[in-house]
């Protein structure tokens, strides 16, 4: 198992890890910006900042974890394309890194821990294991 982690390509893994963490944030930012533009055009002036903030919070609560699960799965598959001998353990290791960095960012930005996050962590681990274990291992 340790040799499997050593065989993971570092550059590809770091790119995939960065993408898995940043792409949900960027996606929510883009959706919120589109919503703000829509509000601005409706009122033909500056939109209500409180309404935009509530919208961003409401979609971030469910969209961010869903995208992390999706991007974890896709990232592990992308890494596995380079190194085909990665098994489910490599995927779980990648998922643990995603969860750990996500928790660090939550602490830095002052987000509180909710028990539903345990479910999302389990789904991220499952996505990593599923992507790592699927396909042919040579």
* Model pLDDT for residues 28-79, shown as the tens digit of each residue: 999 999 999 998 888 888 888 899 999 998 998 889 999 999 999 999 999 8
Residue in 121, 88, 78 with CA at minimum distance from that of residue 102: 121
- In the three-class reduction of DSSP (H, G, I as helix; E, B as strand; rest coil), residue 110 is classed as coil
Task: Report the distance separating Cα 27 and Cα 50, nearest Å.
Answer: 20
| Domain contains 138 | no
Task: Report the distance separating Cα 1 and Cα 10, nearest Å.
Answer: 16
Indicate the number of domains in the chain. 1
- Nearest 5°: CA angle at 84, between 136 and 101? 115
Evaluate whether 135 touches 80 at the Cβ level (below 8 Å): yes
| Domain contains 71 | yes
| Domain contains 13 | yes
Q: What's the pLDDT tens digit per position in 10-36?
A: 788 889 999 999 999 999 999 999 999
Quote the domain boundaries for residue 70: 2-133
Higher pLDDT, 134 or 2: 134
Task: Report the distance separating Cα 120 and Cα 93, nearest Å.
Answer: 16
Mean pLDDT of the chain: 87
| Domain contains 105 | yes
Residue 35 is predicted with a pLDDT of: 93
pTM of the model: 0.84
- The CB-side HSE value for 82 (13 A sphere, CA atoms) comes to 14
User: Two tokens at 126?
Assistant: 């499952």
The pair phi, psi for residue 66, each rounded to 5°, is -60, -45
């Amino acid at each position: 198992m340790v040799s499997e982690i050593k065989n993971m390509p570092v550059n590809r893994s770091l790119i995939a890890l960065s993408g898995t963490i940043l792409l949900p944030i960027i996606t929510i930012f883009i959706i919120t910006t589109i919503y703000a533009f829509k509000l601005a055009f409706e009122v033909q002036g500056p939109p209500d900042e409180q309404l935009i903030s509530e919208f961003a919070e409401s979609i971030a609560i469910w969209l961010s974890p869903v995208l992390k699960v999706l991007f974890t799965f896709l990232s592990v598959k992308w890494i596995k394309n380079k190194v085909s001998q990665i098994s489910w353990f490599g995927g779980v290791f990648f998922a643990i890194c995603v969860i750990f960095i996500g928790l660090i960012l939550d602490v830095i930005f002052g987000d509180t821990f909710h028990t539903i996050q345990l479910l999302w962590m389990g789904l991220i681990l499952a996505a990593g294991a599923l992507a790592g274990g699927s396909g042919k291992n040579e």
